[in-house]
Structure 1
C-alpha cells in the first residue's frame, strides 16, 4: 500500500504515526511539505517572536525520526496538482503515485482588502519561514502594530512587547475578546495588557497602510498610528486550491465524514483543511485527533471523529481567562459578580443553578465554580 500525505503538521504526522502501527512490510509512507522544517509545534511559534525560544527548540520529530521509521519526508516540495483519475500527486519537480491520499495541507492567513498591504515589513504568521522574516525585521523595528485582537493577536502583541518593541493592538470590536468575554471582562483584560506594555485600540476600523517602501503608518477610520512593523492576525482560511478542479465535495474546507473520508473514498482530509459537520476547527488538538482517525482508517482500522469541545480555560498573554457555559449575552438570566477589582468574576445562574462563568485574573475558587457548571 502506498500512503501519501500532503502536509507535515499535526494532522499529517499524527496520521503517519497511526499508519505505522498497522503497516505491512511493503507499505510506503511519503509526506510532502512546502516548509523547510520537519514536524514542529506550531502554536509555540508565537513565543519565538520574543527571542526566548528558537524554531529548533519546538521541533517535535526531526528528520532522523522520519528516517528511523522508514517514512519518506520531502521538505521544500510543494504539491501543486492532484490527478485523482490516475492516483498521482505532482510537485514542480516530480510526480508520485498513491493508493490512499491524505490532505493535511492546513490553512493560510486571511488578509482583508487593506490598501498598501504590499509595503515591506507587513506580515502574517503561519510558518517557521514567516517567523524568520518577522524576527529579521524586528531587529531594526521600534514600533509594532498587530491588526486583530483575537487570542492569537494578543499573544503576538505580548511577545513583541517582551522583545522591547513599542506595541499596539487594533481590535475592531468595542472591547477585547467579545466572543469569550463581556465588556467588563474585556476592559479588565485590556488594563492588564497595558501593565505588560501592550497598548490597545478598540473600535479600530483599519483601512490600510502608508509608507514609501517600508510601512510607516497604519491608517484607521479616525486616526493614524506610526509603525515600522505590522502583523495582520485576522483569521485563517483552509488551503483548498489543490482540490478546486477535483470532483470532491467542498465548501469552506474539504468536506469529510466521521472517518475523515472525503466524497472520494481513497482521499481523506484532516486538520485545518477539513470541514466536519460545517466546522473547521483551526486549532491544534482537533487536528491531532482528526489525523489519528484518518491514519487508522486509511490503514484498515476502525475509528471515528465525534467533534471537539474547545477548552475554555485560556492563558492570554500570561493572564488567566475563563469563559464557560452560558454567557448571558441576551440578559435573560441572573448574574452574580463575585470579584470586580484586580480580578473579575461573574457567575450566570438559572433558577439558582450555575450555568456559566467569566473569570479574568487569578481566583482561588475557580475550579469549584467550573465543576459546579459542568455538573
Structure 2
C-alpha cells in the first residue's frame, strides 16, 4: 500500500531527501508531497555569489527535470505550513490546505539573524539568504558607492564578494577579534584580513554595530559602530549568521534544543516516531549544523529509515573546511583554537609570502589535533588526513611542503 510522506521545506536538505527516496523506492511505497515556501524549487545556496557573477537561476537549480515531472512527487511551491497536528497526522498550510501524512520530515532550514540595532528596517538594508535577496540587492547597488556587510564569517565574506561583483566598495564589520572566528584562529584571520584588504575590502573587527543612520528619502546612508566610527553606506547587508526555523515545533508539541532547533536523536527522529527533522532546523542531540554536507548526511540517513534500510544514524559532522573567499585560500580543520587541554601550537607565519599555517598538537607533541592554513592551502588534504594520527614528519616540514609528504 502506498503511504504519504510530507516534506516541509524544499531547500538543499529537503531536496536531497526527496532524491534519495525516489532513487531507492523501487516498489513505490511512498508518495511524496513537498510543501515549499519559496516560489521556486530547491537551489544551491552555497553558490549564491555566483548568481551575481552571471550564473542563472537555472544554473543553481538542483532538481533534474525528471524529478519535477515525477508522478510520485507533488511539489507545491509558495506553500507555507503553519501548524502540525500530530494526533490527526496532518499539516495545515497558510492557504487553508490540510495535508495528511504517514511520515513527516521537517526541513524548514534557517532564517538570517538580524541584530536588533536601531535602523535595521530602513530601505537599503538586506539579508543574504535567497535569490530574491540578491535580486533586491542587485537592484539597489550603485557601482563605486560604499556598502557595509554586518558579519565577518563565511556568509559575510560571500556577501562582500557579491558587493565587489556589483562594483561597490565593501566594508565588513565583525564583532569577534578576527574574521571567520568559527573556522580559523586569530593568526589566520589576520592574514585573511590583510589579503582581502588588498582587494579593496575594508575590515573592521572587534566592533559591533550601534545603529544604522537614516539619510535623504528615509534610506540608510551609513552605519555607526560601537566605538563611534561612522561608515558611509549605500546598502547594508546583514550576514551575521542564521537561526534555525523551529517554529513548527511549537504547534506540534515537539521539544526544541536549548539553543534552538527541533530536538532529534541521532537518527534525526523527534519524540514522535513518525516525525523527523533534517538540515539546519534539526538539533541532533541538541546541536545544529549550519553546513550543506551535514544536512545531506541527515537526509540520507532518514531516507534509509523510510525505505526500511539499515541506518547507523547521523554520526556527527567533520566541520573542517577548505574555502576560497574573495580569491583568498583559507582552511581550518579539527581543533583550530587549541581548546584541548594541554594542546601545543606550532605556527609558521610568513608575512612576506602572505601565508600562515598552524598545527595543533596533543600534549605528546606528536598527534595532530587540528590546524589552520591561510594564503596557501596546498597542504590541506595531507594534513586533514593526519587528524588524530601521529605526524609523519616534523611540524615545520609538514607546513613548508605538505604536498610532498
Q: Is the TM value for this pair above 0.5?
A: yes
Provide TM-score, normalisation by structure 1: 0.92
Gap change, CA 1:82 and 1:194, over 3 Å in 2: same
Residue aligning to 2:291: 283
Query: Which residue of the other structure, out of 352, 356, 365, is the alignment partner of 1:344?
Result: 356
Matches of 2:100 and 2:377, distance apart in 1: 56
Matched, 1:65 2:67: yes
Shift of 1:162: 2.6
Shift of 1:292: 1.4
Query: Which residue of the other structure, out of 72, 87, 90, is the alignment partner of 1:88?
Result: 90
Query: Which residue of the other structure, out of 255, 267, 273, is the alignment partner of 2:263?
Result: 255
Residue aligning to 2:250: 244
CA contact (8 A) 1:343 1:363 kept: no
Gap change, CA 1:373 and 1:96, over 3 Å in 2: closer
Q: Count the aligned residue pairs.
A: 374
Shift of 1:317: 2.4
Gap change, CA 1:334 and 1:156, over 3 Å in 2: closer
Query: Which residue of the other structure, out of 366, 382, 391, is the alignment partner of 1:353?
Result: 366
Shift of 1:286: 1.0
1:201-280 alignment runs, 5 A limit? 201-212=204-215, 213-221=218-226, 222-251=228-257, 252-280=260-288
Shift of 1:208: 1.7
CA contact (8 A) 2:138 2:166 kept: no
Query: Which residue of the other structure, out of 322, 336, 355, is the alignment partner of 1:313?
Result: 322
Using CA pairs under 8 Å that are at least 6 residues apart, name the structure with larger relative contact order, 1 or 2.
1
Matches of 2:34 and 2:142, distance apart in 1: 34
Give unpaired runs (5+ residues) of structure 2: 390-405
Give unpaired runs (5+ residues) of structure 1: none
Matches of 2:157 and 2:82, distance apart in 1: 34
Provide TM-score, normalisation by structure 2: 0.85
RMSD: 2.3
Matches of 1:25 and 1:325, distance apart in 2: 42
Matches of 2:160 and 2:330, distance apart in 1: 17
Matches of 1:92 and 1:183, distance apart in 2: 46
- Deviations 1:26-54 (CA, angstroms, capped at 9, x unpaired): 642111111111121111113223x3222
What SS is found at the alignment partner of 2:197? helix
Matches of 1:157 and 1:166, distance apart in 2: 9
What SS is found at the alignment partner of 2:147? strand
Shift of 1:165: 0.4
What SS is found at the alignment partner of 1:180? coil
